Amino acid sequence: MQKQNYMITAEEVAENMGISLGYAYKLLRKLNKELADQGYVTVAGKIPRAFWEKKFYGYSQMVM
């Protein structure tokens, strides 16, 4: 079993959701803005996997 990275990339988002890469980047920009508004440091084109899962699936999984 491969360990998942802490951050999810736009490429992963596009592949997992079946959307274009451009739209994935748009979603990540929106979510990164939300995090930045809360005072968190963000990285363009990436977002914490736990935050992604919470926003889109309503829960967070522990990464082992």
β-pairing, 7-9 vs 46-48, is: antiparallel
Q: Is residue 64 part of a domain?
A: no
pLDDT at 62: 55
Q: Averaged over 43-51, what is the pLDDT?
A: 94
pLDDT at 64: 47
Q: Is residue 1 part of a domain?
A: no
Calculate the CA 38 to chain-centre distance: 16
Q: Is residue 45 part of a domain?
A: yes
pLDDT at 5: 87
Q: How many distinct structural domains can be found in the chain?
A: 1
Q: Is residue 13 part of a domain?
A: yes
The C-alpha R_g of the chain, in whole angstroms, comes to 12
Q: Cα-flanking dihedrals φ and ψ of residue 4, to 5°?
A: -80, 150
Tell me if 32 sits within 8 A of 16, measured CB to CB: no
Q: Is residue 62 part of a domain?
A: no
Indicate the pTM of the whole model. Answer: 0.80
Token look-up 């979603």 returns 27
Q: Is residue 2 part of a domain?
A: no
- Domain of 21? 7-57
- Short-list 33, 35, 64, CA closest to 48: 35
